């Protein structure tokens, strides 16, 4: 059965343009605001949504996303509430793919079999779990695939040709290429190096390759869009939420919408220039 993620990338390929993938944290700064932001993302230009699962020890995340997770946990966010948010989003959006991104511990505590079943039922399309290597595919990856969820794997600048086949073996939906070494949101990607890495990865797979970590502006998005099938932006959006949060939900939605529209213009500007 084809997933929403696979359908979206097929549609984008037919249009001849890359995807804009946006990350927000579930429950940040509170559940109602987070849902309002999520609902606004597709109209602003997001093609896929990554929804963070808050965790108290987010080792791969930079300061902005760490703070977002802490705000969410402080507002009472749980994995069950995150799934409820996806279910609420699906009430008026059946098309936009939603990928849950985070760490294995909350899923393990929730129960893998129960989580896969409930995630699928709520309208989740895929998972990115950053602390589960291929050697642990039995823990979650294979049950998720069997349950109809895509399992998106990360490749990094240190993933060499010897390691890459193992990383790609059970990956589905798309490959997420981490453009820098280190944590999220702390450095800008080098477009030339990204292009070479994407070409190398595509030599091993037919899956779309999306690039994230460090993309903050429309100009950076446009540069990466020349090289990849998609551009992932997280820290910049999360920071916009943090800055606008004291002014209330409407201000947060306005700030995120403005930023995402700018990023979408960057990614789509490349496709227009190439047309």
**Cβ atoms of residues 24 and 74 within 8 Å:** no
- The answer on pLDDT for 275 being more than 60 is no
Cβ(111)–Cβ(64) under 8 Å? no
**pTM for the predicted model, two decimal places:** 0.94
- Catalytic entry in 47, 61, 118, 242: 61
Residue 179 — pLDDT band, cuts 50, 70, 90?
Answer: confident
Q: Among 165, 169, 265, 164, which Cα is nearest to 220's?
A: 265
**Catalytic position from the list 50, 125, 137, 229:** 50
Distance CA 144, CA 133 (A): 15
Q: Is 50 a catalytic residue?
A: yes
Token pair recorded at residue 160: 């060499």
For residue 118, indicate whether it is catalytic: no
Q: Alpha carbon of 41 to those of 34, 36, 118, 150, 159: distances in Å?
A: 11, 9, 23, 21, 32
pLDDT band, very low/low/confident/very high, at 181 (cuts 50, 70, 90): low
List, for residues 50-101, the tens digit of each pLDDT value. Answer: 999 999 988 878 899 999 999 999 999 999 999 999 999 999 999 999 999 9
Percentage of the chain with pLDDT > 70?
95
| Averaged pLDDT of the chain | 93
pLDDT bucket at 274, cuts 50 / 70 / 90 = very low
What is the pLDDT at residue 250? 98
Pairwise pLDDT comparison (189 vs 182), residue with the higher score: 189
Residues 4-267, CATH architecture: Alpha-Beta Barrel (3.20)
Q: How confident is the model at residue 187 (pLDDT cuts 50, 70, 90)?
A: low
Domain extents in the chain: 4-267
């Amino acid at each position: 059965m084809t997933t929403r993620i696979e359908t979206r990338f097929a549609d984008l390929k037919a249009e001849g343009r890359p995807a804009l993938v946006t990350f927000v944290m579930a429950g940040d700064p509170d559940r109602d605001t987070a849902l309002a932001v999520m609902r606004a993302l597709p109209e602003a230009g997001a093609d896929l949504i990554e929804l963070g699962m808050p965790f108290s020890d987010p080792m791969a995340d930079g300061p902005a996303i760490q703070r977002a997770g802490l705000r969410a946990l402080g507002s009472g966010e749980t994995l069950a509430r995150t799934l409820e948010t996806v279910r609420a989003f699906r009430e008026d959006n059946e098309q936009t793919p939603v990928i849950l991104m985070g760490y294995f511990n909350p899923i393990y505590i929730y129960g893998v079999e129960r989580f896969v079943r409930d995630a699928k039922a709520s309208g989740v399309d895929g998972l990115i779990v950053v602390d589960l290597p291929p050697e642990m595919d039995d823990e979650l990856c294979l049950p998720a695939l069997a349950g109809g969820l895509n399992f998106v794997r990360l490749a990094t600048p240190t993933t060499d040709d010897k390691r890459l086949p193992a990383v790609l073996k059970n990956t589905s939906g798309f490959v997420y290429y981490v453009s820098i070494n280190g944590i999220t949101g702390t450095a800008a990607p080098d477009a030339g190096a990204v292009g070479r890495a994407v070409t190398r990865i595509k030599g091993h797979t037919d899956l779309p390759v999306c690039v994230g970590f460090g993309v903050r502006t429309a100009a950076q998005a446009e540069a990466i869009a020349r090289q990849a099938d998609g551009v992932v932006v997280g820290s910049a959006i999360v920071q916009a939420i943090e800055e606008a949060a004291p002014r209330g939900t409407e201000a947060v939605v306005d700030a995120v919408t403005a930023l995402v529209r700018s990023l979408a213009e960057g990614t789509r500007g490349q496709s227009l220039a190439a047309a």
